[in-house]
Structure 1
Amino acid sequence: MQERNPFNPTFGNVPPIFLDKQKVIDELIDEIQNGYPQPFFVTGVRGSGKTSFLTRISQILNEDPNCYCVDLINEEGILTSLARKLYRDHGSKLSKIFNVFESIKIGAVTLTKETEIPNVEEMLEELMQSIQKQGKYVVITVDEVNDSKAIRSFAQQYNSLKRQNYPIYAIMTGLPDLVLDLQNNERLTFLLRSRKIVMQPLDNLDMENAYQDVFDGNFEVAHQMAGLTNGYSYAFQLLGDIYFRYLKRQQLSPSLDNLNAIFNQYEITLFNNAYQKIFAEVSEGDRKYLVAILDHPQLSASAQVMGKGVSYVSQYRKRMIDRGLVQPSTYGKVRYTLPLFDKFIEQTQNPNSEFFWEINY
């Protein structure tokens, strides 16, 4: 077995084993360098690898001397943050103003780093003019976008700069329904033309091969591990990490018995670190639907459990499909997409469980 642990289940970090993504990353970077005119949205269920994907793109672009790669946070003052970082990277003397002072007083107005400075739009235009003359380009990355005031402001300014043919590009990540909310904002309909990259489940054969490479070529172990993760990127890293640490700590060789020994730890960690957050951030109606389909996956049956009409419940069905939590199955049924998510839903309805969540229909 390898000496160093190649798995990293930490959200946002780029793990040493980074499956299925490099080809898509290469294609995206190639499109940017060839002047693709629209922004990119990277979407997928929480834990599908969106942030790691974005981080890897930033790492590659930062190696390009002709690229100013700027990472922004979805918060107030986003345009000032963009100007500050571009000034810093561009080598402007004005960057000292941003870097030295926590706040700046201009006349009767006191500006902090969280507020937008006056005329920031003009400053950004001047910066882009200079960058364009240098023959360079700007790529902006923003993680976890939604229809917030900050992102709306950024999107409008981005569109303004893009319409002036400045070499500026944007890559944003977000949950599918939150990205759609942003695109459907009546003032941001140009975002509907954006390129959308959906984080797909990992390929089963790729996972098996990766696990075999790490765990002494044991096919039975690798096959069962791949089945336990169901293509979910976070689960792939988490299970590999827990199993690797267990074998090293106990000085054991890979086997099915040893894999079964860490199953409970894998399950509880998956529930704690991913599924609690996923379940909490959807609406109450979504939670009712997710619970209803546990035993009643057909639309008419789940509608009856919820005490609502089929047309009403079908909206929640579509929302959960869009968010990547369920997918259509056979005979009008749906099934959960994430590994062991049915077990988690069972626990949410167990009053003795730490994951209990009261649902009233």
Structure 2
Amino acid sequence: MLRSRPPVALVVLLLAAALVASAVAGLALGPVRIAPGQVLDLVLRGPGPGGGAFASIVWDVRMPRVLLGAVVGAGLAVAGTVLQALVRNQLADPFLLGASSGASAGAVLVIVLGAGAGTAGAAGGIAVPTAAFAGSMCALVAVYAMARRGGSMTTGRLILAGVAVQYILSALTSLVLVLAASPDQVRSVLFWTLGGIGGARPDELALPAAVLLAGTALLVALARPLDLLLAGEEGAHSLGLDAGRFRAAVFVLVSLVTGVLVAYSGAIGFVGLMVPHAARMVVGAGHRALLPVAALGGAVFLLLADLIARTAAAPEEIPVGVVTALAGGPFFLWMLRRSTRTEGVAA
């Protein structure tokens, strides 16, 4: 008996409401607590002089963080959804496949070598995101080449290849950390490895938001060929899709989205693993509905994770990447156990 699914429009509406509620909570809670009604009043008034201390806190400190969190969460969820289709494996994720680690390594190298000063915006607006994109692309290509052997790809080889690439990139980042010349550079490197959105600035939001919107719109337009990939390469070819070229092109697009987002947030893991799986359970595997639902779900998830990171150990702040790892690690082990029941992990 097939389980009935709720209408996609209803799911989108509920997630949009959850996103608004999460954003209001993110603006209201912190070392200085502001009533939700007052937050809404300040948001409706808009930024400007004369709003007092609360207006400055909402618009100058918390609003950039909330907006960046929503953008990064949505983008990582979309990237994870597409990667799972490209490699036909629900354990795929930008973090587990090394894309986030590659982006972090590229960004860190640019920062320490002097092209940046610790943030993407300080690097002329393009140097750090470009290096992060290059690192993300190289990592994804390396993992895919190692995992795909003899025309097939198993979960075991995919995971082992991702772990191997992550170890190499982590070693490279650690070497850069050791050689960093100043404490400021050390703090910047730690930011990229642990992930965080606390340093968001209003003038840095345009590029990641534009990349997310353009990338998601293009991927939604490619929903049918993404669905065809689920039938396997032979099945996709019989239906008129050149799977090799399509996969290569989408790998580049996913690397671009991941690289730009990681350039502004550091490496935040497991968002692209958990959220697509949950969205798929609700709306099914069709990407035209799955991608928007995953994007909204990822935004909500990361905003809630950041809220926990800011408040759980107040006045100290936990890197949001630690929170997502604590939630995603057990989920990954559960997914791996389910996968190995039918496939095994032999390389």
- TM-score past 0.5 threshold: no
Structure with the higher fraction of residues in strand conformation? 1
Larger RCO (alpha carbons 8 Å, 6+ apart): 2
Q: Which has the larger radius of gyration?
A: 1
* TM-score normalised by structure 1 residue count: 0.22
Structure with the higher fraction of residues in helix conformation? 2
* TM-score normalised by structure 2 residue count: 0.23
